[in-house]
Amino acid sequence: MKQLQKYIIRNNILNKEFLNKFKEQKILFVCISNILRNDDGIGEYIYNNISKLPNILVVNVGSSPENYVSKIRKYGVDVIIFIDSIILDSNPGEINLLEEEEIKSYTSSTHSISLEMIINQIKRNKKFSIYLIGIQPENISIGTEISDKVLKSADKLIEMLSDYYSA
């Protein structure tokens, strides 16, 4: 599976160039997480750290994004960027950026409904650019501890978003 490598910088962190290409568009970040599955709780951690940034639109959908489809559609955005823990057989903490078609072909999930189904519901009669920022988990067993590698990558992503939205 190819990722948008030109937007992944050293230490696997998304760079500002990716967000700059949407400068004139409205972006919504959708954080997905299951806080009872260790590293899969990273979406909520990121949400808690970016939701207070100025000029950012972000929603936390927990482990049931299907319950937020109508709310997501009402934001009237041009770009939707999901943030979630995803298993892509990469190194723990590695961040991958996937385009919509790559997301649709991705089947592994710890959530009750696939992202492809969510995307299809969100896009019904509307046009959005859709991406997924996925962080490779180290541990998704039952528990509430986020591993150090995943936390470190999330903190770098939070820092990049904070710099971008606070500028």
pLDDT tens sequence across 68-116: 999 999 999 999 999 999 888 789 998 888 888 888 766 555 555 678 8
Spatial separation of the C-alpha atoms in residues 142 and 130, rounded to whole Å? 30
The pTM of the whole model exceeds 0.85: yes
pLDDT tens sequence across 44-77: 999 999 999 999 999 999 999 999 999 999 999 9
CB 86 within 8 A of CB 96: yes
For 5-166, give the CATH class: alpha beta
Spatial separation of the C-alpha atoms in residues 54 and 45, rounded to whole Å? 18
